[in-house]
Structure 1
Amino acid sequence: MTTPHAPHILLINPWIHDFAAYDFWAKPLGLMTLGGILRDHGAKVSYLDCLDRFHPSAPESSSPSARCGRGPYRKTTIAKPPGLADIPRTYSRYGIDPDWFVRDLKALPPVDLVLVTSLMTYWYPGVRETIALVKSALHDVPVVLGGVYATLCSKHARQTSGADRLVTGPGENEILSMVSELTGWSPEPHFDPNGLDSFPRPVLDLERRLVHAPVLTSLGCPFRCAYCASHRLQPRMKRRSPASVVEEMVYWHTNHGARDFAFYDDALLVDADRHAIPLLEKIIAAGMDIRLHTPNALHIREITEPLAHLMFRAGFHTIRLGLETTAFDRRGSMDKKVTEAEFLRAVRHLQSAGFRADQVGAYLLAGLPGQRAAGVEESIAVVKRAGVTPVIAHYTPIPHTPMWADAVAASRYDLEADPIFTNNAIFPCQSEAFSWEVLTRLKNLARL
């Protein structure tokens, strides 16, 4: 199919198939950024969200339950994937009903190209279901898959997803040339893939209800933690200017009523004097009544007393610290991000600035290769004694990370055979079978 005129491009955020899922300020920002680039160059862009919590067909769509952009997804019980039948948990499709999705697909004007994103590698069954329904409804329209799963498990995605084409790595580098190849439409580029300030705004206005706006002030991370794939997904560190970031925030706040903003950066506070501090000063000067959230972890050692006070004045409401473990004497093989003294000092600064214990959470990894539950319990106790909230983050084995080999060796599953076995809900790197008793005990201990 060729369309030398500006094409109609459909963006799709696929379903999640999992044992558990919850909307923590989640939006497919990478996909919507590509949509912004395409629309800015003249393409018609539409968006369908299989996770839409506000779909008009849902009885709960008019509920005011959304708090700060968080809330439960609609879910439907489905069969567990092969190999996970022994897990004593319910497996579900999270998101809208498939017949609503097909109806929305068929109501669109003719589509020339479909772009589907992907996130967690073990969520690929939801991606596959989404693409299959697209193909059955739109027939010969090409479907392109990008995102985290497509990048980290590209061979598996080519064999399994049903997509006609894969984009691995940052999509902005090839989006226009790829669309040209697949549709025959060749606009003259007027943005710089390496200059984030040249990017147009993402197409967040296509959301049915903009209960929060994601904000990305930088790409990449200078650290190479053993459990993290950030460097594989974004090999180069790039930053936007503080003025560009605040201009976008003011736009979403003024024109679309967004009050909650979630920073998606992997390294928001790194080199704070030249980035975070001038950014926060400009946010304060803009005088917006907003709440700021950091679902991605902040680097603890960067939090000084002046920065903590700036964060409080700027409107930070939810802070997550990248602590991971309090076994500080044994963490050298994982990362070198923080010492015990730096953690306790950062907590004191945040408390002095006015943050409550329920606003500041420290992520603690559970389910690491060779890790015992007692180690996690001790970390929980240390965090609670410091006066902040322990937040359990279940470890996901990720291909191409330094810890991957240890994860493969420790797992009771064949992690290399199928990404489905890397699901963090099943504690795949523990030699014992999944235990509700251990999971419940950790959850109860982590409560304030």
Structure 2
Amino acid sequence: MTEPTHNPPHVLCVNPWIHDFAAFDFWAKPLGLLTLAAILRQNNVRVTFMDCLDRFHPMAGPGTRVFPDGRGPYRKTEIPKPDILKERAPGRYSRYGIDPEWFRTDLRQMDPPDLVFVTSLMTYWAGGVRETIAAIKEIFPGIPVVLGGIYATLLTDHAVKHSLADEVVPGNGENKIQEIVYRHTGFSFTPRLDPKDLDTLPLPALDLITNLTHAPILTTRGCPFACEYCASSYLEPRFRRRSPESVFQEICHWHNQRGVKNFAFYDDALLIDARNHAVPLFKAIIEANLNLAFHTPNALHIREITEQTATLMFKAGFKTIRLGLETTDFSRERRLDCKVNAHEFHHAVTLLKDAGFSRDQIGAYLLCGLPDQEIEAVESSILEVKKSGITPVLAYYTPIPHTPMWERAKKASRFDLDLDPIFSNNALFPCLGKTISMKTISQLKKLTK
């Protein structure tokens, strides 16, 4: 271990490239990494942030496409498919993000760091993580690189073996950051955090982002449900939430300081116990008359939509409503978790429409590509959602380790999911049943229109 020092170190935080068949910026920001950066700065550590997905990198020049809601396409460069995919997957494979030479130039021009943090998201994006770390080590040989995030948590052994990181840290980094920094740099500090109180966390360091066209907002951690296809309860075993006041102050901060108008809620359970959480937050937003736009890409629990919450969401400025429906097979025999019945779904849709939301604003996620799923079930769900007067949104199933459905997915998949995380890519539809082909998937997409 490094000898103890009283000099604050320089820590580089990096959001890595994506390697995939397709990728798009759906209000995506490395919120966990930027929260760690904020904790470090709060304790006098010098922080530099580099985003390999930066759509507004200075070397990109003018012309970056930005949708009115802040979303937009990443820069895309076709790259060779991994050898393991070449004979098994059609379609072009690409690196999404900035040009590698831009990244190397930025690294060369910065003061050398004492420690590097790299985050990770999808397990099947492991190739982009490895390329990112390789570039960092090329410019800064000998500087320790620590990998965290979802891939590092769900597939720790794979990340240790393949990512090139010097250390892989699974789980919540906020509780381990002091130990990690001390172990690698000798610098000691005591974070002013209470793991039980999310309000003690500093605001994420979104100010380090080049062009903040939208801001992520996380009001809760974890989820009280345990859906068999989802890893939320594994990644965040305890359901915790912030005070409505702290969330409101964060929204005001980014709007007033950076002019942000679009906010995406990253919550898996935004409306749970709405009377004490979402309702006072929505009322504060309405009373402030901020004229903002809010989006719910992680989906809302349908049972929690009431006349009050629907009305308040509309008045507060919610523009994109996504419902976690999964299927319209409401029978007791269905294999998916049953979080909602037919009456509850149609009642929620009616409430949202009565509040003022249009068909284009309301979408219901429908899972597609599940183990042993039949084409008729997906078609029926699409038609039922369209009949209700809202938009069906296909959510392609990704097999995720540590979920109840993982073992069933492995049995159903035409790939060896344990061999490489790349086979979990939902673009490959790894668990397609005998009655569903890529051709029928294309037909399903057309049916949603």
**TM-score category of the 2 structures, normalised to the smaller one:** over 0.9
Structure 2 distance, partners of 1:331, 1:176, is 49
Q: Which amino acid aligns with 2:390?
A: V
Distance 1:425 1:103, change over 3 A: same
Match of 1:227 in 2: 229
Deviation at 1:144, TM superposition (A): 0.5
CA distance in 2, matches of 1:103, 1:328: 55
8 Å contact from structure 1 (residues 304, 346) kept in 2: yes
Q: Are 2:314 and 2:355, in contact at CA under 8 Å, matched by a contact in 1?
A: yes
Query: Residues 7 and 62 (structure 1 numbering): CA distance in 2 closer, same or farther, change over 3 Å?
Result: farther
The one of 46, 53, 56 equivalent to 1:54 is: 56
Find the counterpart in structure 1 of residue 168 from structure 2: 166
Q: For residues 262 and 97 of structure 2, what CA distance do their matches in structure 1 show?
A: 22
Whole-Å separation in 2 of the counterparts to 1:109 and 1:284: 45
- The Cα shift of 1:65 comes to 2.8
* Aligned residues of 1:87 and 1:426 also touching (Cα < 8 A): yes
2:204 alignment partner, one of 186, 202, 205: 202
Tell me, yes or no, if the aligned pair for 2:369 and 2:432 is still in contact at 8 Å.
yes
Identify the range of structure 1 (423-432 vs 140-149) with the bigger mean alpha-carbon deviation.
Answer: 423-432
Alpha-carbon displacement from aligned partner over 1:155-199 (angstroms, at most 9, x marks no partner): 101000000111111111111121111111111221222211011
Cα offset, 1:430, TM superposition: 1.5
| Residue of structure 2 equivalent to 1:126 | 128
Q: 2:292 aligns with which of 290, 293, 300?
A: 290
Please list the CA deviations of residues 344-385 of structure 1 after superposition, one character each: whole Å capped at 9, or x if unmatched.
Answer: 000000000000011011000100000022211111000000
Aligned pair 1:252/2:254, yes or no?
yes
Alignment correspondent of 2:275? 273
Q: CA deviation at 1:64?
A: 5.5
Q: Percent identity?
A: 58
The number of equivalent residue pairs is: 446
1:72 aligns with 2:76: no
Show CA shifts across 1:123-156 (max 9, x none): 0000000001101111111101011100000010
Which position in structure 1 is the counterpart of 2:243? 241
2:11 aligned partner, one-letter code = I
- Aligned-partner Cα distance in 1 for 2:437–2:16: 30
Residue number in structure 2 paired with 1:183:
185
Cα pair 1:66 1:211 within 8 Å, conserved: no
Q: Which amino acid aligns with 1:116?
A: V
Aligned to 2:327: 325
3-state SS of paired residue (1:209): coil
- Deviation of the 1:435 alpha carbon: 4.5
Q: Pick the aligned partner of 1:359 from 355, 358, 361.
A: 361
Structure 2 unaligned regions, length at least 5: none
Matching residue of 2:410: 408
Conservation of the 8 A alpha-carbon contact between 2:153 and 2:235: yes
In structure 2, the residue corresponding to 1:38 is in which secondary structure? helix
Partner residue in 1 for 2:219: 217
CA distance in 2, matches of 1:89, 1:382: 31
Q: Equivalent residue for 1:12? A: 14
- 3-state SS of paired residue (1:364): strand
Q: What is the CA distance between 1:79 and its match in structure 2?
A: 1.2
Aligned-residue offset at 1:418: 1.1
**Counterpart in the other structure of 2:37:** 35
Give the Å deviation of 1:284: 1.2
Residue identity in the other structure for 1:78: I
Q: 1:324 to 1:78 in 2, by over 3 A?
A: same
CA contact (8 A) 1:11 1:114 kept: yes
* CA 145–331 in structure 1, closer or farther in 2 if over 3 Å, else same: farther
What is the SS of the residue equivalent to 1:47? Answer: strand
Give the Cα–Cα distance (whole angstroms) in 2 for the partners of residues 216 and 65 of structure 1.
23
Alpha-carbon displacement from aligned partner over 1:226-254 (angstroms, at most 9, x marks no partner): 00000100011111000000001101000
Quote the Cα distance in structure 1 between the aligned partners of 2:65 and 2:426: 31
Q: 1:331 to 1:202 in 2, by over 3 A?
A: farther
Alpha-carbon distance in 2 for matches of 1:332, 1:197: 40
Q: Distance in 1 between matches of 2:367 and 2:276?
A: 30
- Could you tell me how far apart the structure 2 residues matched to 1:62 and 1:22 are? 17
Summarize the Cα distance change of 1:364–1:185 in structure 2 as closer, same or farther, 3 Å threshold: same
Distance in 2 (alpha carbons) for counterparts of 1:252 and 1:383: 36
Change (3 A) 1:360 1:444: same
| Aligned equivalent of 2:380 | 378
Q: Distance in 1 between matches of 2:291 and 2:421?
A: 42
Query: Which whole-Å deviations, capped at 9, do the CAs of 1:285-331 have from their partners, x for residues lacking one?
Result: 22211000001011000000111000000110001100011111157
| Structure 1 residue identity aligned to 2:316 | A
State the 1:431 CA deviation: 4.6
1:93 aligns with 95
Whether the aligned pair in 2 keeps the contact of 1:226 and 1:333 (CA below 8 Å) is: no
Three-state SS of the structure 2 residue aligned to 1:71 is coil
Contact 1:325 1:331 in 2 (8 A): no
Q: 1:54 to 1:432 in 2, by over 3 A?
A: farther
Number of the residue aligned with 1:261: 263
Query: Which residue in the other structure is 1:299 paired with?
Result: 301
Query: 1:407-446 counterparts in 2 under 5 A?
Result: 407-431=409-433, 435-446=437-448
Mapped contact 1:413–1:428 kept (Cα < 8 A): yes
The answer as to 2:392 corresponding to 1:390 is yes
Corresponding residue SS for 2:331:
helix
Contact 1:15 1:95 in 2 (8 A): yes
SS at match of 1:70: coil
SS at 1:420's partner residue?
Answer: helix
Aligned residues: CA RMSD: 1.4
For residues 205 and 349 of structure 1, the distance between their equivalents in structure 2, rounded to whole angstroms, comes to: 37
- Does the CA contact (< 8 Å) of 2:223 and 2:233 recur in 1? yes
Instruction: Give the aligned partner of residue 340 of structure 2.
Output: 338
Amino acid at match of 1:42: N
Q: Partner of 2:149 in structure 1?
A: 147
Cα-to-partner distance string for 1:263-300 (whole Å, 9 max, x where unaligned): 00110011111111111111112221100000101100
| Match for residue 46 of structure 2 among 28, 44, 47 | 44
The answer on whether the counterparts of 1:4 and 1:183 sit within 8 Å (CA) in structure 2 is: no
2:360 is paired with a residue whose SS is coil
Shift of 1:433: 11
